[in-house]
Structure 1
Amino acid sequence: MRRLGNAEPLEPYPGRAREPWMCRHIPCKQIVYPNRNNVMSGQGACIWCAPNAPKNPEEAAAAMLEQGFIVLVDFLGTGKPWLSECVAARHIVAPRYDNVTGRRGGCRFCTRHGPGDAL
């Protein structure tokens, strides 16, 4: 079967472009039900990886802490800057949740200089 954007179909094409089509999103491995029209128009296949994806704020804060950030303000969304403190360098930064958890992004200061280096 052909791919649907970055999703792998798990069932035959439903026959209409606006019908949900069971697929596995390749990057995150989630089962999703995009329709062909939405994917082909650039909306993407996965609701879990979208910039406005729904996330539990407590789980999101725990995931940020796992990656080395103490969040300082309420969660606004996966693609929004989230004011945080880098645990390693004690810098105040605003990484995006999806960058930190999905791509293993980090503190912009630590990435450039290392956590112990003076700026």
Structure 2
Amino acid sequence: IAAGERRRAAGRAQAEADMRAAGFEPLEPYPGARVRWLCRHVVCGRTVHPRLFGIRAGKGGCRACAGRAPVDRAAAEAEMRAVGMEPLEPFPGRVRDRWRCRCMTCGHIGTPALNNIRRGQGGCYACAHRAGRSLDVA
């Protein structure tokens, strides 16, 4: 019984350390890996209920902050240029917002989202459409 209690205590300590490392301050005792755990998100100060299982799997934990991580504007512009899109306006501020750009290959003006670019989608719809047509004809 004593050995089991020592293992559970070590597991609770590790769970709290993992949550703190992910940016959450536990507000109640450890309930289990797959149970929602009342915590405060250190970044935004909101009270949230993430699961330790999800945090350890690399998921967020704060829905309010999801997709709103600060993005360096210069890095965002460099990412767009790397896929052949020249930004025509300043970065909108969030990765999911549409961004008006011109394709450096064909000159088409489109509105790709940086999030889609990061997922591996091309930036220019017109170039992608032409590439698909040329494959069908050949």
When the two structures are superposed, what TM-score results if normalisation uses the length of structure 2? 0.52
**What do residues 8-42 of structure 1 show as CA deviations (whole Å, max 9, x unaligned)?**
xxx954415133755353xxxxxx7x44xx4xxxx
1:66 aligns with 2:82: yes
Greater C-alpha radius of gyration: 2
What is the number of residues matched between the two proteins?
88
Shift of 1:83: 0.3
- Unaligned runs of at least 5 residues, structure 1: 1-10, 26-31
Which portions of structure 1, spanning 4 or more consecutive aligned residues, are displaced by more than 4 angstroms?
Answer: none
For structure 2, list consecutive stretches of 5 or more residues without a partner in the other structure: 1-12, 17-29, 32-36, 42-51
Q: Is the 8 A contact 1:60 1:97 kept in 2?
A: yes
- Give the match for residue 93 of structure 1: 110
Please give the root-mean-square deviation of Cα atoms over the aligned residues, in Å. 2.8
Name the CA shift for 1:101/1:13 in 2 (closer, same or farther; >3 Å): same
Partner of residue 70 from structure 2, selected from 51, 54, 58: 54
1:108 aligns with 2:125: yes
SS of the aligned residue for 1:85 comes to strand
Q: Residue 18 of structure 1 corresponds to which residue in structure 2?
A: 38
- Same amino acid, percent of matched pairs: 22
Flag the structure with more relative contact order, 1 or 2, with Cα contacts below 8 A and sequence separation at least 6.
1
Indicate yes or no: 2:95 matched with 1:78: yes
1:92 & 1:110 partners in 2: Cα distance?
Answer: 11
Report the 3-state secondary structure (helix = DSSP H, G, I; strand = E; otherwise coil) of the residue aligned with 1:95.
coil
